[in-house]
Structure formats: C-alpha cells, structure tokens
Amino acid sequence: MSTNSFGHVLRITTFGESHGPAIGCVIDGFPPGLEISAEEIRADMMRRATGQSRWTSQRKEAEEVQILSGVFEGKTTGTPIALVVYNTDARSKDYSRIAEQFRPGHADYTYHHKYGIRDYRGGGRSSARETAMRVAAATLARKYLQDVAGVEITGWLAQLGEEVCDLHFDSAVIPTNPFFCPDADKVAQLETYMKRLWKSGDSVGALVKARATGVPVGLGAPVYAKLDGDLAAAMMSINAVKGVEIGAGFGSVAQKGTEHRDEITPEGFLSNHAGGVLGGISTGQPLEVAVAFKPTSSLRLPGRTVNAAGEPVEIVTTGRHDPCVGIRAIPIVEAMLALTIMDHFLLHRAQCGDVAPQQPRIPT
Amino acid sequence: MSTNSFGHVLRITTFGESHGPAIGCVIDGFPPGLEISAEEIRADMMRRATGQSRWTSQRKEAEEVQILSGVFEGKTTGTPIALVVYNTDARSKDYSRIAEQFRPGHADYTYHHKYGIRDYRGGGRSSARETAMRVAAATLARKYLQDVAGVEITGWLAQLGEEVCDLHFDSAVIPTNPFFCPDADKVAQLETYMKRLWKSGDSVGALVKARATGVPVGLGAPVYAKLDGDLAAAMMSINAVKGVEIGAGFGSVAQKGTEHRDEITPEGFLSNHAGGVLGGISTGQPLEVAVAFKPTSSLRLPGRTVNAAGEPVEIVTTGRHDPCVGIRAIPIVEAMLALTIMDHFLLHRAQCGDVAPQQPRIPT
Amino acid sequence: MSTNSFGHVLRITTFGESHGPAIGCVIDGFPPGLEISAEEIRADMMRRATGQSRWTSQRKEAEEVQILSGVFEGKTTGTPIALVVYNTDARSKDYSRIAEQFRPGHADYTYHHKYGIRDYRGGGRSSARETAMRVAAATLARKYLQDVAGVEITGWLAQLGEEVCDLHFDSAVIPTNPFFCPDADKVAQLETYMKRLWKSGDSVGALVKARATGVPVGLGAPVYAKLDGDLAAAMMSINAVKGVEIGAGFGSVAQKGTEHRDEITPEGFLSNHAGGVLGGISTGQPLEVAVAFKPTSSLRLPGRTVNAAGEPVEIVTTGRHDPCVGIRAIPIVEAMLALTIMDHFLLHRAQCGDVAPQQPRIPT
Amino acid sequence: MSTNSFGHVLRITTFGESHGPAIGCVIDGFPPGLEISAEEIRADMMRRATGQSRWTSQRKEAEEVQILSGVFEGKTTGTPIALVVYNTDARSKDYSRIAEQFRPGHADYTYHHKYGIRDYRGGGRSSARETAMRVAAATLARKYLQDVAGVEITGWLAQLGEEVCDLHFDSAVIPTNPFFCPDADKVAQLETYMKRLWKSGDSVGALVKARATGVPVGLGAPVYAKLDGDLAAAMMSINAVKGVEIGAGFGSVAQKGTEHRDEITPEGFLSNHAGGVLGGISTGQPLEVAVAFKPTSSLRLPGRTVNAAGEPVEIVTTGRHDPCVGIRAIPIVEAMLALTIMDHFLLHRAQCGDVAPQQPRIPT
C-alpha cells in the first residue's frame, strides 16, 4: 500500500514538490520490449506543460525528462522505469508571503493540520506539477495499448464556465487550438472569453471529456476494482476535480430504464449510455468519461483567510496561475484514462490468460 | 491486491453471489475492543434489505448474519472479522430463461466475455446483493467513528427521476418514509410517482446525497489515496452508479473562483463548496458527496438483445426488481462513506501518530 | 493491504479462530473454468487434519468444507471463492485455565500486549487451525498448476528431532506412513521415537522439505516479490516455523563459489544448489525449500510463566496437542509452495503475457 | 501491488540498474518532522559501499545521494521522499563479453527467459547495487526508531566460510575492522583467510547475524504479515541470500519443547530461543535474525555455461567482484531489519492506536 502509487499490476509511484529539486515517477510492472525514448515522453509532457499558451500559467518548464532505469538500448526491460525532471523555473520567492497563510481553496490548511509541516512553495506536493509525471508515465501506456489493441484516447474541453464547447465535435480540431476545443467555430469565442476572464482577475471551472476507442471487451475486475471505479479514483485524484461521470452520468438520474439500457443487436449495441462499462467490465464500446474541474483558487482578487496563528488576514495570490486549470488538465485526464485501461489490460491477462479481441460486430 | 477488497488499512473483502449459498465479508485491520453484536449488524442490514417496502424488490432476505470470527465475548479482538449471511429467498428458476441471453444494461454480456462462464442466477456476483455486506461491515465502522470522533453519517434521496426531493431538508424526516426523503411534504408525491412508474413497467434513476459531520481535519492521503479519490472509487463501485460529486461537483464547472473558493475566518470557513476536502485531505467541515444512480435495467417491458450465440432475441425480465435502485442504495452510500472515513482515520494514525481533533472554531 | 491475506494477484484471505464458530478463506483472482468440488478440497484437508494418527492431536475435525461462492455448476467462475468449515470438536473448557496465563512459547503474551484482548480458547487466531484453510485453498492451486504446467509438489519429513529421515528417498513411501517419511526403513524407528517422546511428556522439532517439479522458467518478480522471497514469507507465516532455506540454504555459507554455482551445459544445469531460483526467478529446475519447525510449546510438563497480573505461576497444558507439530505441517508447506507458485504464474502472465514452457533440455 | 516495493505502510520502492544512469528509491508513508540530511544518508551508504576495503569489489561509488523530494528545510514533510544516486564508476565494457552468455549462479539465464531482454551490464537490475538504496532508506528508519523507541540495530559477520567469527562477541569491535567481525582476536585470521581466498580465485559464503534491541512489545500482524514472516521476506530479497533464521532457527529442529520454550518470570523471559517473536508479534526481547549468503558466483576461475543460442561456452568473469558478498551485506541486513520494524511500528499504530512501551521488566 502506497498512497502515492496508482494501479494494480501496472503501478505508478510519483514523487516531487512543485518547487523542490525535481519531480519524478517509477513505473513498475511494465511489460518488456516496448521501444521508448525520452523525446517521445517529453513531447507528450509538453502538451500539458505550462507556458504553452497565453491562457495558462507562464511558468516555463523545459520538461527535460531523464529515463533513469528500466530501459536498455531503447527498449523497456520489465524492470522499474524511473523518470525524473529537474525543476528549472521554480520561483520560490513568489510564494514566501503565503508561508504563514492558508490560501482559500488550496491544500495549505489541510496539509498544515495533517502534517504540522508543509513545503508551501508553489503548493509543494499538492501542486498540479505532480501531474506532469502522470502524463510522462502514460506515454508508455498509450503506446503499448495502441500497439497491442489499437486503443485510441482523445480528451477535449466540453465546457468552459458556462460555454459549451463540443456542440460540434471534430477530433481533428482539438490539437489545433490551445483550448483542446473540438469545435472550430467556438475557438475565437473562447479567446474572447479568456481575455475577459483574465482582465477580471477571476477564474472559472471546466468540463473535460475523454473517450477511449478500441478497448477490448472484458477489462475490469469486480467488485472493488471495477473499471469505472478505478477510473473514478483516477480522475478524482487529479487536482481540482470535483466530479466524475461515466457514460450518461448524472443525466441517468432523470432517465427511464427503457431509455438508458443500451439494447443489443447482432450488429452491436444501439446506444452507449453505459459509457462502455457494464458491471465494472468493458463492453468493447468506447469508454466515456466526463470530469468536472473547479475554478483556480489562486486569484489576484483579495480574499479572506487566516494565518497559522488563526488570525484573520487578507490574501492575494500573485504567482503565475492558470485562469482555468481545466484546460491544461486535458492531457492529464487522457493520461489517467490510458494508465487505468492498461492496468486492467494486464490484470485481465493475469487472471484470464488472454485478452478477448474487441468485438468487431459491435459498432462503436 | 485483491479486486474484491476495499480499503487501505481497514480492508473489507466481500464474496458471494445473489443466488449462491451465501454472501459474506472479511473485515481486516479493525481495532480491538469495540462492542458489537450480530443484532446490531442485522438492524443496519434491514435498512437496505429488499422487501421492506412495496417500492423495492419483494425478495425477502432475513439477513440472519453470523459473526464467524474476530469477536470474542462481544468485543472485536483485532483479528479478521468474518460475517456471513446464507441466502434464503433465492428463487433461481426465475432466472433460468436468461441463462443464455444478455440482459441489456446488465453485466451478463461483459461477464460472459470476460470469464467465459457466469453464474447467471440473479446476476450472480454482479447483483446488488453483494452490497448487503458493505452495510454489514459499515455497522462496525460507524460505531467506531461515532465513539472515537463523534462522526455522524446521513444519506438521503435528493432526486427521484426529475423530482427533486431535498428542497426542504429535515434529517428527522428521512427515517420516517420508505424513500429516505428528507422533505415531509414531498413523500406523498413520491408515492404517487412510484405507483405510476410501477404501473408503466418502466424504471427511473435517482440522485443520492450523503454527508458526514464530525470528521477530524487531516484525514486523507495525497496523491493517489486522496479522501475524495477513495470516496469516488467507493461510490462508483456500487451497482448502477454512473457519477460521483464532491461538494459543488459538476456545479463548479460554471462557478467563478471568487465564488467557489471557501474563504476562511477565525470563526471558520464561510462556505463549503469544497465538500469538506482540500487537496485530498479533510478540512473538518462536513464531507459531502452526491451519487447518480441509473434506472434499473431489469424491466418487464420487452427489449432487444442477443443470446450467447449472437442471435437477436426479445427479452423480458420477470424477476423481482426495484423500479428505482437508487432508493435502496442510500444505506449503501452511507456505508461506503463510513468505511472510507474510518480507513483514513486509521491510515492517518499510522503515519502521523494521532488524529487532530476536529477544529472547534470551524462552523460546520 | 490486508495482514490476513497472502499473494499478489492470487490473493488468499483467511479468517477464524481455533475454537470460534468457523474458519474460512476467500480466494480472489482465481482463473475461471477449473472443475472443483468440496470433496476434493476435503480430501486434501484430511491429510493435514488432526486426529489422523496417534501421533497428532486427537482433536477430530470433520473438515466439512462448504463452497459458499465463486463456483457454479462445479466450475470456478472468476469471482471470489469462499470456503468455510464450522468448528465441531472444539472443547473450549480445556483452555479455561489459561485464560489468565501466558503459555511460554505461545502467542498468548504477545496477543495480550498487542490487542489488550484475546480469544484464548485453543490459541484463538494464533492456532495452527488457521492453516487448514491454506491447504483448502491450495487444493485449487495444485490442480490448476498440474493442469496448465504439469507442476508436481511433494513434501516430506527430513528430520525428526535428531533423526534424519530422508537418507533414502522414495516419494512413493511418503503417503504410506503417518510421518510423511520417504524412507521405508525408517518408519518403525520413528514410531519408537514418538512413543518414547509421548511418554516423556516432551516435544521435539522437525525439518520439513518440499520440492516442486515442472515449474516453468521465468516465474518470480524482482526485487521485493522474488519467488524465493515470497516463499520465505509463505513458510515463515506457518505456525512454529523458525527457519527457511532455498536450495543449499545455510550449507552455502561454507561452500566455495566453484562448488555452489550450478554450471550449465546444453543438456541443462549440472547441479541445483540454487534450489531452482536465480535472481528471484525460477530456473525451470525443481524448486527446493527446507523449513525448520520448533517443538510444540504446549506440554504437560510444568513450566514457569506469569499471569496477566504479572505474578509468577506454574503452567501445565493439558489440551490435545501434537508432540511434533512439524509432521502435520507437511501438507501446509506443500500448500504454501503451491499458492506461491501459482501466484507468480499469474503475475508473470500479467506482465509478460505468456508463460515460457519449462526448458525441456534442462534435466531436473 | 508493486514488485519493486517493500513494506505495508512504510513503503519503499527502488529502481535502477547497476550500470544504468542512476539508482534510487521512493520512501512513502514516512512520518513528518524527522530531521535528515543527505550527508547522514551518504555516511550510512558508505558502510555498504564497494571499494571500502581490499576485500570488496574495487568499484568506487561516491554515493553522492540527492534528496529530490519529501524533505523541506531539513525535515521530512510526510510526502514521498525520493533519493537518487547517479552511477559514476560503472565500467560497462567489462561486461560486454557476457552479453550473450549466462553466468552460472547469476540471474542472466532467468532474466533472459523471463523478459526476453536484459540489461546485462553488471547484472543490471539483479546486481547488489540496488541494495545501496535500501541502506539509504533505512537511514531514516533507524533514526526514527531510535528517536521514538530507542531501538538499536547491530549486524555482524558470524561465519566466513567455515570460520566462526562470533565466538567472542564485542559489539564495539564490529566497526573497527573491514569484516564487521565482533571478535578482535579473529580479525587477523580473517585477513589471512581472505588473502588465500583471493589468491585462489575462488569465493566463499557467509553467515550474517543481526539484532534489534528496544523493539516494543506488540509489533507484528498475524497471519500473513507476521513480523518474522516479513523479516524472512526482507532478508531473502537481498541478493545471494539462501536461508533465514529467527531465534533458534534450524537449531530448533533438534530441540525439545522444554528446552525451546522461553519460560517467563516476573523479571522477564528466561531465554530467547524465540528470537523476540511469538505468534508473529514482538515480545519486547531482542529481535534476532541469521542470514545465509552464498559465495559470489562471479569468478575468474573458468566455468561451463551456454550462450543465448544454447551452445556450450567456457566463462570467466573478470569484472570487479567481492570474494565474499556476505561481508558487504551486513549493512543491508541491518537496513532490512530497520525498515521491517518501522513498518510494523506504523502498522501497529494504525490498528491499535498506540505503541506499548517495551516491557521494562523483561530482561533483554
């Protein structure tokens, strides 16, 4: 049991603080023989990296990832793969003021009360900087899943504040704009929205969706390692997440059974309200997840809080922060989706010996 | 790693099929010295039991739970506590027809493809019958948490289909009606609704909410065993759940940062959009979770599906089923909340040695 | 993490006290499709059972094992398999005298100080009665390993006190005598030895050896789940075990490198000082383990101890006890060997996808 | 579940290959507030380091350990502590010859068959280089245990080949000689022995013993996380270990019950054949473990083996190697002892809430 590890048989352990010397991870249980390079990993990490657009934090990390172990002559060997990225653009003095204050909406208050000591610089361990290593680890998982099962994973911005972003969905549009928005006509509107938001000093929440196609039928392990249960834990472990849905999600509350149940024909399921999971096991249909991100709590607009002595203070956060953390979280959602699927791919193989090919008759 | 176990240091392992000889659980890591009796456990189980009202499945289980181990002279001893309930009212022939058919919205299809063999009687392992043992195990956890920390857990029906049920909230009303509805004025309306639903042969989804008060500050373990992450997994592992929210949940998508962040004063937090968790660690405020249940998939209204040979068949489910599984799930949501909190209570003690008293200054 | 569970992906959880209502286990992660019956399991359990010969405790347990879950129409389904045996011949009053005394060499003292409460009847959880469920669980593992890989497991008594029992080894002799002795000429001598021991009121230790043939090359997982590391834990978890050796074991201390290293030829390894494991991974040679059992501590010869109040008392144990617990432990050693191998068989499959056939060129 | 992790709630994950870029570890679950510096860790690592005497491998590693996370302003914070040491004196070309050959007694053969690919340089992951990180992690555990419970851990060389080294035991002598020998009169003899051994080109095994005093009564967790069971796994996970004993160990085979059972008086136990553990739980007496190390398999004396093509070849290992790996393993045995005790210290606290002070009345 490690509370900084994720996965059953594909086990990711991360470490590192936002402004500490380095962040890193250990990937254990990864199959031997996959070709991988630091460059490939870095390319994925840059999708999440800050400083990539004017709408995200201007901290600029080079993400010069080093592979410290587990890869020999360009291939995974089956031994633990350690990745490390030294922090280079950590401006710790930005945070000195908050050493003794609890930023509202942040983990300052709870870390202080739990541990009695905290690395306050940039949020320390509670910073989203940690998630960079999830994306790094997932580079290997995505490549593996693509190779062995043709799994493809796509995440996108479904809503920014009150702006719905995926009324028109074109996956080809997603990588062409800094919002991961799938609707080409919406991008300009989002820019205006973000400009206004930036000017106001406030922040906003986001709805992120992700989909995995090509997932073989049969992945998942009842009862407490259900594929959707593990996905929920995976997503909720991402900073700022307040809600997770699979398939119809909260929409299923108001559905009738005749509407929700996905009927089956010899040609496949007629709908996918289930989101690709029944009884915690993949159906072979696309795996569909939606994740709610709260608005950034670090604001230059003053707020009330207390200091460690319990005295009231006014707080203003002047560090470099995203006005909407949800945007940059999209590669992280994709990463957690990939890691969860691969973990269950291997776990299924342990118990059942082989992985059923995806049912070709089932339209996705 | 056991996929039928839940929890880090308080570890619950369940077993059993809906129509097999028995269901049961093993509770490992429970502290010694708690007074407990089979009667207390049974009383809790009856809250969840079927056949308790005309609105739930008419299967009548006596829930005659036996304590097989771990309790000596009425007290827990620190060794594993095994509970078992023999199934008495399992009418397996009700299900013989579906042995070769995949019920839409059920786990039949996925279990078949995963394992190549399945106990189709009453859904076998995928039946909500399994959750009876969660409620049983949670009886001990609730009592322990109440004793050592004054934690109180309350669950209720927040929405039935499109009917919102908690506009007026009075916790005293919840146990007085079969819907766990907290609004006395709403109960009659719900009865009418359910009658109509029953007549129609259709089913409906539900929104269940639960709250824990008295949770000490400091529980939770970053990064992959966050209190909210573990809660998400716990809730999503319940049958028919399609979504989980903590605090403001999906509502936080459209919130501004100034609105969402819970400001702090010497008298406490000014709001609880966080739902009692910041950075994966409890704040001492009430822990608040909302859970979406899909409508029952077992319907007497015919639906299309295929049989194991892949041929199209029409299916009608005639067994005894709840028209809204969400109602009966309320004690299960409470149970998973209790088990998760207690697990983190013990886990915190392992690492940090003591549990901080709940902050008395923080209004809840 | 469960401290009453064993195994990585094949996970056995046991429960029960010696004189409690029942003992049992949950087997999680077992592959679907294996034919198994309660009768087969009971037959294996009887090999370990007390009362089988005049040299073991005269407690007579029928071992009427029930399969409560995970088996449908005679085959495993992939869901958790729960086994339970109700205790029938537990004479608790035999133990009433020791409720307040700590028997030397027993767990009374340590359970008391750890938990503050203990089920003293027959040793409660610390009794070897628990191991009956390991044998039960291993029935399935042995059958599976035999089916898929031709693995055969044999345990025997190698030494009884100072009497070496396997100078002449004939595996066919083992099941023909109550000592699991592989030397036909030795059996009469052992009977005389045991008679004298019984008369003296004293007890004696034993050396048990076990071997598994047919183990595929490649099982084991560096670094902290090495096959030999897991075997060491498995064996040391058996009651009364004080030492574990793999291959040459403690004999390797005085060996030279040229003597110990097993040279390899195209026809196979020239020796097996390694005991079938190199670097924590199986070589395909026989897996060989030796286990030291201490003498029974329950003696009718009086001994000094203290009671719970710390006062000196003289203790005499009058319950039914084995004069040499090591003899009856042989099926348990075999069981732990089988469970460990099967766990690694599945674990290997998770990471590496297939299990290499045993190297036929390597003489065993 | 991670096969490169060790411990239940204090969880150590190691990574790295002998001649890869770096080795490292992540320590998860460590309590906040312990003062620690890289210098302290390095000092401990140097005790194990190669090149420290003429009797160990001449590879000279500076062990310039970096603390990458989990320590802030000189104190642990409760978040994962990552340590890394870059390999500096790895002469990989020494090993190029063995890329295609399986060194007898090494993991070459088994890694090849398990993974199909291996980092052959210096043994890769199977090298004892990995153990440097165990010593590093244990620096923190030893300091913690000393602080909170006064636990002291001492390891020594008990036997070198056939030479018994601890007939006269003086713990003060251990750090004064390169053999960790506790008998001052024996040291010269060991030097002569090693010179002759070195000249001969052969290697020899060793018996290492270790003792922990001050261990509180009550640590350990039945049944499958017994303190001695976990110690057995911990020790067997060290490279070249072939046997583990607790207390009387294999000597208990020939003992009578009246001899072995440690009688108790109001002044304490009268002996310690148990080695400080009864029923898997610490008694408060010294914890005593003995570990058998096989002779080094890397020899300049030629041996027979096969290459990857299965053809017979003669092998000579010319790299820098210890003629007796057991000597250098003593700090590793101490490290695993410390890590195991601390893990159980925390685990006990989780379940039972407090750690009983060591029984002062019990002489150690």
Tens-level pLDDT at each residue, chain D (364 residues) = 789 999 999 999 999 999 999 999 999 999 999 999 999 999 999 988 765 666 666 667 788 999 999 999 999 999 999 999 999 876 656 566 778 899 999 999 999 999 999 999 989 999 999 999 999 999 999 999 999 999 999 999 999 999 999 999 999 999 999 999 999 999 999 999 999 999 999 999 999 999 999 999 999 999 999 999 999 999 999 999 999 999 999 999 999 999 999 999 999 999 999 999 999 999 999 999 999 999 999 899 999 999 989 999 999 887 667 889 999 999 999 999 999 999 999 999 999 987 765 543 343 3
Whole-model pTM: value is 0.97
Residue of D3, D351, D355 best to disrupt the B interface, most CBs of B under 10 A: D351
Give the torsion sign (CA, D117, D119, D123, D125).
negative
Q: Give pLDDT tens digits for C276-309.
A: 999 999 999 999 999 999 999 989 999 999 998 9
Q: What's the pLDDT at D94?
A: 59
Q: Does residue C96 register a pLDDT over 90?
A: no
Specify burial of residue B192 (Cβ count, 10 A radius: 0-12, 13-18, 19+).
exposed
DSSP string, C153-207: EEEEEEEETTEE--SS--TTTGGGSTT--S-GGGHHHHHHHHHHHHHHT--B-EE
Of the partner residues D24, D67, D117, the one whose CB lies closest to the CB of residue A68: D24
CA contacts within 13 A on the Cβ side of D19? 19
For chain C, the chains sharing at least 3 beta-carbon pairs closer than 8 angstroms are A, B, D
Give the residue on C whose Cα is nearest the Cα of D290.
Answer: C243
Amino acid at D132: A
Q: What's the pLDDT at A363?
A: 39
Quote the tokens at residue D11: 């969880």
A257 CB neighbours in chain B (<8 A) are 105, 202-204, 295-297, 299, 301
Give the residue on B whose Cα is nearest the Cα of D28.
Answer: B351
Q: Give pLDDT tens digits for B145-192.
A: 999 999 999 999 999 999 999 999 999 999 999 999 999 999 999 999
Q: What's the pLDDT at C49?
A: 79
With a cut of 50, list the residues of chain A below it in pLDDT: 359-364
d(CA D82, CA D12): 10
Tell whether A349 is within 8 A of chain C (Cβ).
Answer: yes
Quote the tokens at residue B351: 């690492």
For residue D85, count other CB atoms closer than 10 A to its CB: 23
Collect all residues with Cβ–Cβ distance below 8 Å to B196 and sequence separation of at least 6.
Answer: none
A116 CB neighbours in chain B (<8 A) are 352
DSSP annotation of C224 reads: T
Give the residue on C whose Cα is nearest the Cα of A347.
Answer: C350
Binary contact (C252, D205; C-beta < 8 A): yes
D273 CB neighbours in chain C (<8 A) are 294
Quote the tokens at residue B119: 């106990």
Place B130 in a pLDDT band, splitting at 50, 70 and 90.
very high
d(CA C9, CA C31): 10
Containing B11, the helix (H) or strand (E) segment is: strand B11-16
Long-range contacts of C311-316 (CB under 8 A, 24+ apart): C311/D266, C312/D265, C312/D266, C313/C101, C315/C98, C315/C101, C315/C103, C315/C104
Shortest Cα–Cα distance, B249 to chain A (Å):
5
d(CA B56, CA B174): 17
Whether the CB-CB separation of B221 and B280 falls below 8 Å is answered with yes
Shortest Cα–Cα distance, C98 to chain B (Å):
15
Q: Does residue B58 register a pLDDT over 70?
A: no
Binary contact (C117, B33; C-beta < 8 A): yes
Q: Give CA C108 to chain center in angstroms.
A: 22
Binary contact (B349, D349; C-beta < 8 A): yes
Binary contact (C79, B13; C-beta < 8 A): no
d(CA A84, CA A38): 10
Shortest Cα–Cα distance, D74 to chain C (Å):
29
Binary contact (B294, A260; C-beta < 8 A): yes
Give the residue on B whose Cα is nearest the Cα of A298.
Answer: B257
Of the partner residues D16, D66, D68, the one whose CB lies closest to the CB of residue A16: D68
Shortest Cα–Cα distance, A65 to chain D (Å):
13
Tell whether A353 is within 8 A of chain C (Cβ).
Answer: yes
d(CA B332, CA A88): 48
Of the partner residues A69, A84, A116, the one whose CB lies closest to the CB of residue D32: A116
Of the partner residues C1, C21, C119, the one whose CB lies closest to the CB of residue B8: C1
C132 CB neighbours in chain B (<8 A) are none
Give the torsion sign (CA, C329, C334, C337, C339).
negative
**Which candidate, C127, C22, C35, places its Cα nearest to that of C81?**
C35
Whether the CB-CB separation of B161 and B193 falls below 8 Å is answered with yes
Q: Give pLDDT tens digits for D138-160.
A: 999 999 999 999 999 999 999 99
Question: Could you tell me the residue ranges of all domains in chain B?
Answer: 5-352
Collect all residues with Cβ–Cβ distance below 8 Å to D220 and sequence separation of at least 6.
Answer: C110, C114, D226, D227, D228, D230, D277, D279, D280, D281, D282, D344, D348
For residue A271, count other CB atoms closer than 10 A to its CB: 14
Of the partner residues A5, A20, A70, the one whose CB lies closest to the CB of residue D68: A20
Question: Considering chain C, what is the average pLDDT of its residues?
Answer: 92
Model ipTM value:
0.95
Whether the CB-CB separation of B57 and B36 falls below 8 Å is answered with no
d(CA A232, CA A239): 13
Quote the tokens at residue D30: 């460590």
Whether the CB-CB separation of D165 and D179 falls below 8 Å is answered with yes
Collect all residues with Cβ–Cβ distance below 8 Å to A199 and sequence separation of at least 6.
Answer: none
C1 CB neighbours in chain A (<8 A) are 1
Binary contact (B247, A242; C-beta < 8 A): yes
Tell whether D316 is within 8 A of chain C (Cβ).
Answer: no
Which residue spans within C223-262 are E strands per DSSP? Answer: 241-246
Q: What's the pLDDT at C92?
A: 57
d(CA A207, CA B5): 31
CATH architecture type of domain B5-352: 4-Layer Sandwich (3.60)
Among the residue ranges A319-323, B46-50, C41-45, D198-202, the one predicted with the least confidence is: A319-323
Shortest Cα–Cα distance, B73 to chain A (Å):
32
Q: Does residue C364 register a pLDDT over 50?
A: no
CA contacts within 13 A on the Cβ side of C225? 25
Whether the CB-CB separation of D303 and D104 falls below 8 Å is answered with yes
For residue A191, count other CB atoms closer than 10 A to its CB: 16
Collect all residues with Cβ–Cβ distance below 8 Å to B285 and sequence separation of at least 6.
Answer: B262, B268, B269, B272, B274, B276, B362, B364
Give the torsion sign (CA, A47, A48, A52, A55).
positive
For chain B, the chains sharing at least 3 beta-carbon pairs closer than 8 angstroms are A, C, D
D351 CB neighbours in chain B (<8 A) are 9, 29-32, 78, 346
C310 CB neighbours in chain D (<8 A) are 266, 361
Q: What's the pLDDT at B308?
A: 87
Containing B157, the helix (H) or strand (E) segment is: strand B152-160
Tell whether A31 is within 8 A of chain C (Cβ).
Answer: yes
Of the partner residues A5, A20, A68, the one whose CB lies closest to the CB of residue D2: A5
Q: What is the mean pLDDT of residues B320-325?
A: 82
Angle at CA B57, nearest 5°, toward A249 and B101? 70
Q: How many CB pairs under 8 A join A and C?
A: 42
**Which candidate, B193, B196, B170, places its Cα nearest to that of B181?**
B170
Binary contact (C349, A347; C-beta < 8 A): no
d(CA C338, CA C333): 9
How does strand A206-213 pair with strand A287-293? antiparallel
Tell whether A137 is within 8 A of chain D (Cβ).
Answer: no
DSSP annotation of C363 reads: -
Whether the CB-CB separation of A342 and A31 falls below 8 Å is answered with no
**Where do we find the tokens 């195994």?**
C7
Tell whether C1 is within 8 A of chain B (Cβ).
Answer: yes
Containing B348, the helix (H) or strand (E) segment is: helix B330-352
Specify burial of residue A8 (Cβ count, 10 A radius: 0-12, 13-18, 19+).
buried
Q: Does residue C97 register a pLDDT over 80?
A: no
Binary contact (C1, B22; C-beta < 8 A): no
Tell whether D130 is within 8 A of chain A (Cβ).
Answer: no
Which residue spans within B170-278 are E strands per DSSP? Answer: 206-213, 241-246, 264-265, 268-269, 277-278
Quote the tokens at residue D23: 């080795």
A296 CB neighbours in chain B (<8 A) are 257
Of the partner residues A13, A75, A115, the one whose CB lies closest to the CB of residue D32: A115
**Where do we find the tokens 């809204």?**
B324
Cis peptide before C204 (omega within 30 of 0): no
Residue of B76, B145, B351, B355 best to disrupt the D interface, most CBs of D under 10 A: B351
